[in-house]
Structure 1
Amino acid sequence: MLPIFLKTLPFFALIGTGWLAGRTRFFPPEATAWLTRFVFFFALSAMLFRFAASLDMAQLWDPRFVLAYLAGTFAVWGIGLAVARLRGLPLAEAAMEAQCCMIGNTGFLGVPMLLVLLGPAATGPVLLVLTIDMVVFSTLITVIVTAARQGRINRDAWGAIGRGLADNPMIVAMLAGLAFGALHLPLPAPAAEFLDLLGAAATPGALFAIGASLAARQAARLGPSLWLASAKLVLHPLAVAIAAFAIFRVEPRAAGMMVAAAALPVAGNTYILAQYFHVAEQRVSTAILLSTAFSILTIPPVIAWISGT
């Protein structure tokens, strides 16, 4: 357990360094926004393309894996929605809280950290979880909040959802990489070195950006936010583990990596959605802060369990 904790410590130390830089204003919010943009559009996309190009669809697509992740995640989503509705929250707020319970920071934390800690075998499972989260659940929250406010989903709303997916550089990078690999196209050495150099910036850049963005968050609405953080760090990986191991019998190694991805803290882009829709912004922000802080204690046991150490 201690060796795994020590392995994860540098990743969280990078987050802490970013937080300290942001908190002291040495790294102002404007710099955080531009660093996040660089990582999102360039460094992380280069890393994802490089990884996806080394896969084939048979490695990436596993129906039992998809069903297990969807079943466990929808179960937690339903629990989060039910708890919020029992507290008397309107549908849009309840759906946003449910989103916090099961959308992890797979892009900025999971891809850089899990692929390093768990090795190349984690690439397919982690990218598949990332794809499901972006395509299925990001669409779901948009549809629910829009329908709750307007009473219906019109053609313009569906068009905006489609454009949002098509404009997401992580989705484009993964699809381009898979197509490149499927066509067995040779990657020239200079291009490979360029992608390696650019992709190498994804891990430190993403982790530093996470920390710097957390510096601007203030803890408030602690009761609901603690519930949301606990649901994400404990309930979500537990539900996914039950679905993967006990119900759908996913291959154990892939199932473990799915659980590791589910154990990640609340995704930062959940706050972007909350801010865009003006729904539960403070609760979401605090849940991100708390879940990221507590994940330094919850992720190492999951990694140790998967690694058998």
Structure 2
Amino acid sequence: MIAVLQQTLPFFALIGLGWLAGRRGMFDAAATAALTKFVFYFALSAMLFRFSSELDLAQVIDARFLLAYLVPSALVYALATIVALVRRRGVLEAAVEAQCAVIGNVGFLGIPMLVLLLGTDAIGPVVQVLAVDLIVFGSLIVILITAAREGRVRLRTLGAVGLGLVRNPMIVSVVAGLAWAATGWTMPVPAASFVAILGAAATPGALFAIGASLAGKSAERLSVALWLSTCKLVLHPAAVAVSALLVFGVDPYAAGVMTAAAALPVAGNVYIIAQAYGVAPMRASTSILVSTVLSVMTFTGAMALLGRLG
């Protein structure tokens, strides 16, 4: 456990540094938003392009792997939804809470950290997890909220969801990287160096931005946030591990990467969606804050357990 903590602590220390800069006023909301845009549209996209350009399509489209992650994620999503409805929170709030229960910070935290901790072979499994989160659950919450408000699913809603996916830089960069890999061409040295230098900024930039964004979040509805954090940090990775190893028989290394990705704290884009639609944004914000703080120990513990299991 201590050995694993020594590996994960620097990543969380970068988040803490960003939080401290935000709390001291050295990095205000505008600066955090600018850094987030840089990481999202440039640094992280460059990292994803670089890694995916070294993959082939078979490494990112594995039906058994995708089902092994999707099925338990859907079950935890359904559980969080049912609990919210039993508490009479309504479909809109249930959709946000369910999103908190299963959508981890794979883009900003998972990709940089898991690749450095587990090696570049982790990028294929991580990209598949990211694809399920973005395409399935990222679309589902928009459809549920819109349908609940309008009483039906309009064609324009599906079109907007599809357009959003096409414009997502993480999806675009992965597709572009795979397309480059399919050509079999060697990337010119200046271009490869450019992508490597830009992509190297993704890890510190993303972690710092996460911390700075947390500085502006307040803790409300702690009991609900603790429940959703438990879903995200404990129930979700446990269900994914059982599904991958015992039900679908996924390769142990890929199953480990999948489980580690599932053990990540709630993603920041859940708050963005909740804020955009005006549905329980503070609940999402608190869940992100609480799950990120708790993940220092829970994620480290999950990594230590995976290490013992080989």
Number of residue equivalences = 309
User: 1:118 touches 1:307 (CA, 8 Å); kept in 2?
Assistant: no
Q: Look up the match of 1:143.
A: 143
What one-letter code is carried by the residue in structure 1 that aligns with 2:71?
A
Q: Distance in 1 between matches of 2:226 and 2:298?
A: 14
- Give CA deviations for 1:109-132 in whole Å, capped at 9, x if unaligned: 000100000001111001110111
User: TM-score normalised to the size of structure 2?
Assistant: 0.98
Q: Look up the match of 1:247.
A: 247
Q: How does 1:22-41 map to 2 (within 5 A)?
A: 22-41=22-41
- Give CA deviations for 1:32-54 in whole Å, capped at 9, x if unaligned: 00000000000000000000000
Secondary structure of 1:185's counterpart equals: coil
User: 1:257 touches 1:306 (CA, 8 Å); kept in 2?
Assistant: no
* Offset at residue 186 of structure 1 (A): 1.8
Q: Look up the match of 2:178.
A: 178
Q: Work out whether 1:2 is the aligned partner of 2:36.
A: no
Q: Distance in 2 between matches of 1:159 and 1:62?
A: 27
Q: Work out whether 1:298 is the aligned partner of 2:271.
A: no
User: TM-score normalised to the size of structure 1?
Assistant: 0.99
Q: How does 1:57-136 map to 2 (within 5 A)?
A: 57-136=57-136
What one-letter code is carried by the residue in structure 2 that aligns with 1:289?
L
- Give CA deviations for 1:115-152 in whole Å, capped at 9, x if unaligned: 00000111100111011100110001110010000011
In structure 2, the gaps of 5 or more residues are: none
* Offset at residue 307 of structure 1 (A): 3.1
Q: Distance in 2 between matches of 1:139 and 1:252?
A: 29
Q: Look up the match of 1:289.
A: 289
- Give CA deviations for 1:72-120 in whole Å, capped at 9, x if unaligned: 1001000000000000111111111011000000000000100000001
* Offset at residue 172 of structure 1 (A): 0.1
What one-letter code is carried by the residue in structure 2 that aligns with 1:16?
G
* Offset at residue 270 of structure 1 (A): 0.2
Identity over aligned pairs, percent:
56
Q: Which runs of 4+ in 1 moved over 3 A?
A: none
What one-letter code is carried by the residue in structure 2 that aligns with 1:208?
F
Q: Work out whether 1:20 is the aligned partner of 2:1.
A: no
Q: Distance in 2 between matches of 1:298 and 1:159?
A: 38
Q: Distance in 2 between matches of 1:301 and 1:105?
A: 17
Secondary structure of 1:173's counterpart equals: helix
Q: Look up the match of 1:211.
A: 211
Q: Distance in 2 between matches of 1:142 and 1:102?
A: 15
Q: Look up the match of 1:11.
A: 11
- Give CA deviations for 1:4-28 in whole Å, capped at 9, x if unaligned: 1011010000000000000111111
